[in-house]
Amino acid sequence: MRSSLLLLPGPLPDAPRPTVDVVRVDSSAIVLMVAVFLASAVEMIEALTIVVAAGVSRGWRSALEGGAAAIVVLGVLVAALGPAIVRWVPINSLRVVVGAILLVFGLQWLRKAVLRATGYKPKHDENAIFAKQVEDLEGREPRSSGRDPVGFAVAFKGVFLEGVEVVIIVLTLGTTDHNLGLAALAAAAAAVIVAAIGVVVARQLAGVPENTMKMAVGLMLVSFGSFWSGEGIGVRWPGSDLAIPVLVALYGAVTFIVVRALNAQKARETRKVGRAELA
């Protein structure tokens, strides 16, 4: 549990600035690690689809180099921005801003996941994305014998754009919880595991339950967002950090009920349409 010092309404004049890159494990750190890992895995699956499509159609060397270069740039962004944010932004302001961003971002993910789970929005189809990407790339000018700039650029752009969301999650969760090291480690672990699976199967990961992972990440982001923005504006959560898993459970229960209710309603509508067609 964190000390009550962090729950005071404003920063103490003589309070030392919090440090980063100290790996601390408590209840909020565990939820943070899971959230960052799942978010990173979801985004890396999407990035992997693009890298594999570039590798298959334009050659593996350029595709892998493009993907690796993007990961290096993303790592530099985290390393440069993370400590600067913690050093220069007052903790309560950081919590309100980061909490607000996480709240909106988490609600967007959760909304999308609920609509996909209930069939009101089509699920993310990695097979279709892969096929379209290969078709687009094969239609471009023929690749040269050495490095292929098109393959490199497509892989770099795919990994970078998908990775920017991960960088924002790592920076927001990591800096606010003063656990940037743990957040970065969780994201890197997810990237390595997804890449390893990609190497083994050498194809897009269409079988991964991406929507379920997205729903779990959405729940955690909304919970962190509520907790930190609340703390930043003066809310004293009962149980301090223990409120985070309670919020995850509460939002999870509501999401479950909403999904069940919408599925039941959809089934009723389908039966009604079926009966009307028979009549």
Partner 1 sequence: MPNSRDGATLPARWLRAFWHFWWDFLVGDTPELFVAMLVILGVTLLLAKGVSTTAAWVAMPALVIAALVASVLRGRRAG
Residue ranges binding partner 1 (CB under 8 A) = 96, 100-101, 103-105, 107-108, 110-111, 114-115, 118, 120-121, 168, 222, 226, 229-230, 233-238, 243, 247, 250-251, 254-255, 258, 262
Count CA atoms closer than 13 A to 30's CA, side-chain side. 8
Give 28 or 57: the residue with its C-beta nearer to partner 1: 28
Nearest distance from C-beta of residue 100 to partner 1, angstroms: 6
Between 149 and 252, CB nearer to partner 1: 252
How far apart are CB 229 and partner 1 at their closest, in Å?
6
Q: How far is the CB of 148 from partner 1 (least distance, A)?
A: 27
Please report, for residues 51, 77, 177, 213, 243, the alpha-carbon distance to residue 30 in angstroms, rounded to integers and kept in the order given.
30, 24, 11, 16, 13
Q: Which of helix, strand or coil describes residue 143?
A: coil
Contacts of residue 88, Cβ cutoff 8 Å, sequence gap at least 6: none
Tokens of 221: 């982001």
**22: phi then psi, degrees, rounded to nearest 5:** -100, 120
Please, which residue, 144 or 265, has the CB nearer to partner 1?
A: 265
CB of 257 to partner 1, least distance (A): 9
Q: Which is closer to partner 1, CB of 144 or CB of 263?
A: 263
Quick one: which of 219, 200, 199, 222 has its CA closest to 211?
A: 219
